[in-house]
Every structure is written in structure tokens, then in C-alpha cells.
Amino acid sequence: MSAERMKIGCAGLGRMGKRHALNFLQRTPRAELVAASSPDLTELEWAKEHLAPYGVRLYQNYDEMLQQEGLEAIVVASATAVHAEQAIKAIEADKHVLCEKPLSTNVEVLTRRSPNPSLTLPQKKPHLKVMCGFSRRFDASYRDAYQKMQTGQIGTVSVLRSQTCDKLDPSGFFVAYAQFSGGIFVDCSIHDIDLALWFFGASSKIRSVSAVGNTAVEPDLRKHNDRDNAVGLVEFHDGRIAYFYASRMMAAGQEDSTEIIGTKGKLAVNTQPQQNLVQVYDASGVRKEMPQTYYDRFEYAFVTEANEFTAAVLDDTPLPLELTAAVQAVRIGAALQESMVSGSKIWFDENGNRLQEARL
């Protein structure tokens, strides 16, 4: 292992952008954060204080940052709407890319029907490392579960249940957010869908999706074709079943849990959520506090992600997850969202083509 370090720039300095920037600055020994960009002046003010003193150059314009000499990689942590565009530009500029999920809210952007297909572009530049940041793939508990499944501890995996449930944000922020997020299945369940593709295998072929949702706390979500509670059912051509629950109204905190159910056992990840190892005994009973946000829950997964992406670039080793899975996840998420809104079950053939007529 050489002492050489990967020079990376961070696109976007919002909530997640700040975290990625600091992780690459302070917690990724083999990386060197050399640049950061944001169109937002307040975010740049923050960066002047927290990044610039360590030699990070700041840009208001993403395209200018891409020109910085010596820059080798970009972490795309901007608004979801520009993920795909910025990732494509970075690839065209011959940079390695770590892109926040989802790649896009629109499958078309990602596939051959698009003029700038992000999927085919990486194929033309196989020397580049391009990864979508599904943080759970880097979480120690999910990895332990995956390794246990791989060694056969639970037999053949047949059913997966997974949920991404956010604590209620009473500010109503998520109504405005829904306009651009792609909807609850693309924004939240995308993680659970990715887990299904990981545990079932990336070659799993979707057969049908159906979904329902309601607006228990925020009826205005319907304006953007969204819901605050949603349950989706996905069937694969080999018979495996995945089912998902997403919610934006949890009272206690972030509750992201998964069960992987096999013919010889079950692996449960975080079905007993907890902030830490403290239990409080008081007049109300025995109590554990919960993580309040997904970053509370997955902070170290993001650090691992930064370090492993860096290692893959420097050592030219395979990335821990393939881009095709990220595209497939967006496709499934968008189909679930459509099924929830239309009420119709959606079918696919074994080649992944959507069947236009309902199968009876």
C-alpha cells in the first residue's frame, strides 16, 4: 500500500455534501479533499471556515471545479435532480465518481433511450470507478448478515422484508421535497430495493410489482403523487419475494430494518433499533432511545464508503457494488411508485420489458 493519496472534489455542500466533504477531509486517510463546489453562497461560507483552512479550493461553479488540475475523483452530493447530470459530466472529464443515491429519479436518464446515457458512458471508460453510494452496503451489520447468508447459515433465501422509515418532520419540509424526490419508493425504499438486489443477486429479474399508500399525516403529498406511508410487493421470476414499507411519520426515530428469510433460518438487521447501548429504567418501563436520522444510524457506513471507494481507485480493485444494480433499483422504485398511484399491478417479462397489458 503506497502512501499516495487520491485527490477528490465534492459537488454540493448541503446536508449530505458537508458530511461527505468532512469524511474525505478527516476520516479517509488515503484521500485528499482538494476541491468543493456549491451554487449556494451560505454553503460556501461554511466551507470557507471548515474546508478552506485545510487547503480545499472552493467553487461556485461545478464545471470550473472539474477543470482543477490534479483532480482525480468527484463525490456527487448535490440535489437529487442534478445527480445524473453532474455524474455524467465528471465521467466525461475522466474522473472517478462516487454518486449519492438515487442516481436519478427518472429511469430514462439512466438508460439507452437517453441522449446522455450514464450507464453506457461508464462502459466506454472502464478505467474509471463509478459507484452509487448505497450506504447500507457499507454498514457492518448488513455486511455481517450478507456474509452469514453467503456461508449458507440460512439456507436458500426466499423472502426479504425491508423498511426505511423516517422520523416525522413536523415542519412539513417533506411535502415540498416530494416535488423533486421521485416519491417515497424512489427516495426511501430505494435502499430496501438495493438490499433485495444485493441479497437475491444482481441478476434477479423482476416479475411484478404492486403497491399501496396512504397519507396519514400529510394529505398535501397527494399533490405531488406521493404518500407518507407506502407498502410495496415485488415478485421475481425465480419466485423470490421482497416486500417493503416506507414511512415518513415515525414517532420514535429512524427505523430502517431488514429481514432476510431463508429455508434454514432468518437474519434480522436492526429489528431492535437503538441509539446506543444504554437502557433507561424509570417509571415508564425499560427504554432504549433510537437514532433520530439515517445519518445517526449509518454514520460509520458513510466513512467506510469513502475509504473503500478511495481504495478501489488507488489500487484499481473492483468496487463493492455495480452500477447496474443502482439503475435496476431506480427502475423498480419508479414502478412501485406508479403502481401505488395508479392502483394497478405492473408486470415484466424475463428480459425486463414491461408488459403493457395486465396478465391474467
Instruction: Considering the complex, state which of residue 15 and residue 359 has its C-beta at the smaller distance from a copy of itself.
Output: 359
The closest alpha carbon to 91, from 117, 115, 69, 60, belongs to: 117
- The angle at the Cα of 356, spanning 353 to 358, to the nearest 5 degrees, equals 115
State which residue, 176 or 216, has the beta carbon closest to a copy of itself. Answer: 216
Q: In the complex, what is the shortest distance from the CB of residue 148 to a copy of itself, in angstroms, rounded to a whole number?
A: 7
Closest to a copy of itself by CB, 215 or 324: 215
- Residue with Cβ nearer a copy of itself (221 or 326): 221
190-200 and 140-150 helices, crossing angle to 10°: 30
Under 8 Å between Cβ of 311 and 159: no
Four-CA torsion 168, 172, 176, 177, nearest 10 degrees: -20
Q: Toward a copy of itself, which CB reaches closer, 113 or 353?
A: 353
Q: Which is nearer to a copy of itself, 84 or 260 (CB)?
A: 260
For cell 435496476, the residue is 328
Rounded to a whole number of angstroms, the minimum distance from the CB of residue 171 to a copy of itself is 16
Min dist CB 86 to a copy of itself, Å, is 27
Considering the complex, what minimum distance in angstroms separates the CB of residue 107 from a copy of itself?
A: 22
Bridge-based pairing state of the strands 206-214 and 157-167: unpaired
* Interacting residues of 204 by C-beta distance below 8 A, sequence separation 6+: 196, 197, 236, 237, 238, 240
Give CA separation, 11 vs 69, 292, 324, in Å.
Answer: 16, 26, 23
Residue 302 CB, nearest approach to a copy of itself (Å): 14
Side chain identity at residue 233, one-letter code? L
Q: Are 47 and 69 in contact (CB under 8 A)?
A: no
Residue with cell 429479474: 205
Choice between 74 and 269, CB closer to a copy of itself: 269
- Nearest by Cα to 53 from 33, 83, 29, 73: 33
Q: Rounded CA gap, 207 and 181, in Å?
A: 25
Identify which of residues 80 and 163 has a Cβ nearer to a copy of itself in the complex.
163
Element (H, E) at 59: strand 57-59
- Smallest distance, Å, CB 140 to a copy of itself? 5
Output the smallest distance, CB 351 to a copy of itself, in A.
19
Cβ at position 336, least distance to a copy of itself in Å: 12
CA–CA distances in Å: residue 220 to residues 175, 190, 214, 247: 7, 22, 11, 15
Q: Which is nearer to a copy of itself, 14 or 265 (CB)?
A: 265
Smallest distance from a copy of itself to CB 120, Å = 33
- Distance (Å, rounded) from C-alpha 331 to C-alpha 329? 5
Cell of 115: 441522449
Q: What is the radius of gyration, based on Cα positions, of the chain?
A: 21
